Structure 1
Amino acid sequence: MTSVRMDDITTQALERLVAVALSDTGQSRRCADFLLAWYNAAENGGFDLTTLWGMDDELASACSVVFLWVASHRAYPDDLGYGEVFQRIWALWRAGSEQAG
């Protein structure tokens, strides 16, 4: 178990992005793309910053909060106990494209 912890504001931002990524809205893929780039950019593709243009302000702000936290803490989702939920996001948004390739 790691001692890395997110503050409440960052945790709320991350959990908002996770909830949208696991849903079926017009912004779900955008949130998933952002989160999966953090999880493993080499396997899941990078995150095109212009994707933020298609997000509502609340979600773009949540990305910003998480991005700043990641930049200063150098931790992966697994380090924070989010490994399983990120696997679910991966299965929802990437598993089919991997099988097609």
Structure 2
Amino acid sequence: MTTISVDHASAAAALTRLIDVARSDTGQSARVANFLLAWWNGDDWGHFPISDLFGVDREIAIDIATIVAYLADHPGAVYADAFGEREAMGDLVHLWRSETGAPV
């Protein structure tokens, strides 16, 4: 079986770019926020429709795929705080989700 191996530094760089996009105010940023928040806690913050990849630029889709490949290559749960991004994820929750936790 062919595997895709993504190192921690590459995943961290992709995550940083994705967080920057999610902090902005575009259709793409909403889709990126959906991905990041689904990864963070999909039961509370909503899930990521895979078709959202069709609505982002190629570079953003590649960054999302980079994170997914990194997660696939590492057993167990790995979250954004493993990259030092716990605070940024909390900021995204406040930015993109209502107080009830329902998608905005």
Q: TM-score range by the shorter chain?
A: 0.7 to 0.9
Number of aligned pairs?
94
Aligned to 1:44: 45
Contact 2:18/2:63 (CA < 8 Å) preserved in 1? yes
Query: Percent of aligned pairs with the same residue?
Result: 38
Residue identity matched to 1:9: S
Cα RMSD of the aligned pairs, angstroms, is 1.7
Instruction: State the alpha-carbon separation in 2 of the partners of residues 40 and 32 from structure 1.
Output: 12
Q: TM-score, normalised by structure 1?
A: 0.83
Aligned to 1:24: 25
* Structure 1 segments unaligned to the other structure (5+ residues): 1-5
Instruction: State the alpha-carbon separation in 2 of the partners of residues 97 and 56 from structure 1.
Output: 30
Please give the per-residue CA displacement for 1:50-85, whole angstroms capped at 9, x wherever unaligned.
000001100001000001112222311123321100
Please give the per-residue CA displacement for 1:8-56, whole angstroms capped at 9, x wherever unaligned.
2211111110000011123110000000010001101111000000011
Q: TM-score, normalised by structure 2?
A: 0.81
